[in-house]
Amino acid sequence: MKKFSSPSDEQLVESIKSSQIEAFTTLYYRYYNNLYRLFWLRTNSKEKAKDLIQDVFTRIWENRQKLDSKKSIKAYLYRIANNLVIDSFRKKSSQEIYFADRFSANDISTEKSLETDTAVKLAINNLPEKIRIVFILSRYHGFKYAEIAQTLKISIKTVASRMGQAFHLLREELS
Amino acid sequence: MKKNKYYNLCVKAITGDIAPEEKVRLNRWLEESKENQNYYDEIVATWQQTELHDFPFIFDLDQEWSQLKQQLRLESEPARTKLSQHRFGEILDKYAEIFRPRLRPAFVTCLALLIFFAFFFIFKNQSMKSEYLEIFTGNKQHIGYVFSDGSHVKLNSGSLIKFIKPFSDSLRRVFLSGEAFFEVVHDKRPFEVVTRLAKTTVLGTEFNVWTRGDQTRIIVKRGRVRLSSLQTESDNVELSNGQMSWIKKNSSPSLPKNVDTDYILGWLEGRLIFEKTPLQEIIAELTRIYDVSIEVKNSELNEQTITATFDNLSIETVLASICLTLGIDYKTEANVYVLQK
């Protein structure tokens, strides 16, 4: 059997730039669930999350010539993702009524975890936009401050201060 | 200010973003007093509290991927799909050999019937399955939802409802945190809205439930509603058209009071209404409605009350009039509105 070693992000970007579908597939499978996690938390909707992921990868593919393998593709993916979420909220006026999707019973492991998760999700959703994304990336995506700074194009100092504010607000909300 | 600096250092230590020299500084600070140590422990507790247990995960990405591929018109079918189609053909051929040609139509009919019944039962079961649903709104968001019985709810920003879909045969029950307006379709089954403190029972009506902190308020636009405390269920009041009642922690529902419902339910039209509302509560509401950070520098301001109506105004205009009323100023500091004397 042929030994398989997974290509690095940089190698993938190089191959995607030369329109190799195989590499694009690998990138898709590699980052799908990470982005799903982000979109799901931010939109409260699985269908919306799936749609937005397709949008992210559509943009990557359509702009593949402009990709830079020296820059982190992960940061780029998350940046597009965050912009798409903000855009989708902006398009919708707060007065607009629409049908929310729901979380089905299959998502719920136990009653107890449901209770605590609900409170946490609500608290996170109540954080101001700019603070929320910083917190989500750090807490649920394991991003280092430097990665968050790179992704959102803000300074590390700003990341630190927003994280401080996030903890402050969450503690008030959850205590 | 100094405390704030250490606050961010504590967070950095927890997320693993602390530099070695910062760690030395933080440790020195922590050893200074028990208070500092407690401070750190609280931040750790918050970190632990924000753990999420059931993150969704898509195991089978193939369907998603093939959809995207179609959208982008990328060719090259994945090998696996081809293989399975090929195998299926092989299997069919094998079975076809077993049956003599003249029996083949009967076989096909049986197979078709079998498939039909299989689908029938699968879909029948699916439609019967009840789900536990939760819907919540972020800041700046309003959501409308129609329940299985045709009743309608509109959720204000930063609110949440949980319920079983479809409702049971005997009861329609919804848990609420935040604020929501219900239009309940008349039905034999009572419709219950349960909050942390109170239970509201109706048969068919339009009413608003507001619950934040240790208070729940009910406003009835049309129809009749019974409000009871969750601690003492016998303790209840009946409300009818245009009446309001509220429950505070460890107390019975207040006597119904007549109110102008169109005025008081202004949020449905984007109006913000405060009547002798403490600044603290107003700030919390503005944060949800406008999705901004607001800080009050002088804590004694929090208890000051304001009566005002804001009809679809910008956050700056709203803050300016609040400041004018209280004789204070506000400024913007790194995306945070700071209110101070």
Q: Is this prediction's ipTM beyond 0.85?
A: no
- Spatial contact of B145 and A99, defined as CB atoms under 8 Å apart: yes
Q: What is the pLDDT of residue A109?
A: 38
CA distances from B232 to B125, B218, B227, B249, B253 (A): 40, 17, 11, 11, 10
What is the rounded radius of gyration, in angstroms, for the C-alpha atoms of chain A?
A: 18
Residues 6+ apart with CB under 8 A from B73: none
Average pLDDT over residues B29-54: 87
Residue B156, SS3 per DSSP: coil
Q: What are phi and psi of B11, to 5 degrees?
A: -60, -45
Give the number of A-B residue pairs with CB atoms closer than 8 Å.
Answer: 181
Q: Report the C-alpha gap between B139 and A94 in whole angstroms.
A: 9
Confidence of residue B271 (pLDDT cuts 50, 70, 90): confident
Report the sign of the C-alpha dihedral through residues A141, A143, A147, A148, in that order. Answer: positive
Cβ–Cβ gap A164/B154 under 8 Å = no
Pair of tokens at residue B53: 């247990």
- Spatial contact of B160 and B178, defined as CB atoms under 8 Å apart: yes
Pair of tokens at residue B40: 């750190």
The alpha-carbon gap from A64 to the nearest alpha carbon of chain B, in Å, equals 13
Residue of A nearest to B143 (CA): A97
Residue B235, SS3 per DSSP: coil
Q: What are phi and psi of B173, to 5 degrees?
A: -120, 135
The alpha-carbon gap from B209 to the nearest alpha carbon of chain A, in Å, equals 18
Q: Which A-chain residues 74-103 have CB contacts (< 8 A) with chain B?
A: 89, 92, 94-100, 102-103
Q: What are phi and psi of B122, to 5 degrees?
A: -60, -50
Q: Report the C-alpha gap between A14 and A18 in whole angstroms.
A: 7
Nearest Cα neighbor of A96 from A104, A84, A107, A88 is: A88
**C-alpha of B223 from chain center:** 27
Q: What is the pLDDT of residue B11?
A: 92
Cβ–Cβ gap A144/B17 under 8 Å = yes
Average pLDDT over residues B223-234: 79
Tell how strand B336-340 and strand B293-296 pair up.
parallel
Pair of tokens at residue B235: 């303790």
Is the minimum CB–CB distance between A105 and chain B shorter than 8 Å?
A: yes
How confident is the prediction along chain A (175 residues), in pLDDT tens digits per residue?
444 456 888 999 999 999 988 889 889 988 898 898 888 888 777 788 899 999 999 999 999 999 998 999 999 999 999 999 888 777 654 333 333 333 333 343 344 555 667 788 888 888 888 999 999 999 988 889 999 999 999 999 999 999 999 999 999 888 7
- Spatial contact of B238 and B228, defined as CB atoms under 8 Å apart: no
- Spatial contact of B260 and B241, defined as CB atoms under 8 Å apart: no
DSSP-H helix ranges across A44-110: 46-62, 73-91
Residue A118 gets the label, from left (phi > 0), alpha (psi -120 to 50) or beta, of alpha
The alpha-carbon gap from A67 to the nearest alpha carbon of chain B, in Å, equals 18
Amino acid in the structure at residue A33: N
Tell me how far apart the 2 most distant CA atoms of chain B are, in Å: 96
Residue B133 with chain A: CB contacts under 8 Å: 102-104
Is the minimum CB–CB distance between A48 and chain B shorter than 8 Å?
A: no
Per-residue DSSP letter, B170: S
- Spatial contact of A69 and A17, defined as CB atoms under 8 Å apart: yes
B102 exposure class (CB count in 10 Å sphere: 0-12, 13-18, 19+): exposed
CB-closest option in B69, B72, B270 to A95: B270
Residue of A nearest to B178 (CA): A122
The alpha-carbon gap from B102 to the nearest alpha carbon of chain A, in Å, equals 47
Percent of chain B residues topping a pLDDT of 70 = 80
The alpha-carbon gap from A159 to the nearest alpha carbon of chain B, in Å, equals 10
Residue B261, SS3 per DSSP: helix
Q: Which B-chain residues 45-74 have CB contacts (< 8 A) with chain A?
A: 45-47, 49-58, 61, 64-65, 67-69, 71-72, 74
Query: What does the pLDDT look like over B122-168, one tens digit per residue?
Result: 554 444 456 667 787 777 777 888 888 888 898 888 888 888 778 87
B307 exposure class (CB count in 10 Å sphere: 0-12, 13-18, 19+): exposed
Q: Which B-chain residues 291-330 have CB contacts (< 8 A) with chain A?
A: 291-293
Query: What does the pLDDT look like over B59-98, one tens digit per residue?
Result: 677 888 888 988 888 865 443 333 334 344 444 444 444 4
| B278 upstream amide cis, omega within 30 of 0 | no
CB-closest option in B15, B136, B165 to A125: B136
Residue B52, SS3 per DSSP: coil
Nearest Cα neighbor of B218 from B234, B241, B250 is: B241
Residues 6+ apart with CB under 8 A from A50: A36, B58, B64
The alpha-carbon gap from B88 to the nearest alpha carbon of chain A, in Å, equals 26
What is the rounded radius of gyration, in angstroms, for the C-alpha atoms of chain B?
A: 29
Report the sign of the C-alpha dihedral through residues A66, A68, A71, A72, in that order. Answer: positive
Report the sign of the C-alpha dihedral through residues B178, B179, B183, B187, in that order. Answer: positive
Nearest Cα neighbor of B293 from A157, A122, A168 is: A168
- Spatial contact of B11 and A160, defined as CB atoms under 8 Å apart: yes
- Spatial contact of B192 and B200, defined as CB atoms under 8 Å apart: yes
Q: What is the pLDDT of residue A93?
A: 44
Nearest Cα neighbor of A35 from A86, A79, A68, A101 is: A79
- Would the pTM of this model clear 0.80, i.e. be above it? no
CB-closest option in B4, B15, B56 to A40: B56
Cβ–Cβ gap B145/A117 under 8 Å = no
Nearest Cα neighbor of B9 from A96, A67, A160 is: A160
Is the minimum CB–CB distance between A172 and chain B shorter than 8 Å?
A: no
Cβ–Cβ gap A170/B292 under 8 Å = no
Nearest Cα neighbor of A157 from B297, B28, B293, B5 is: B5
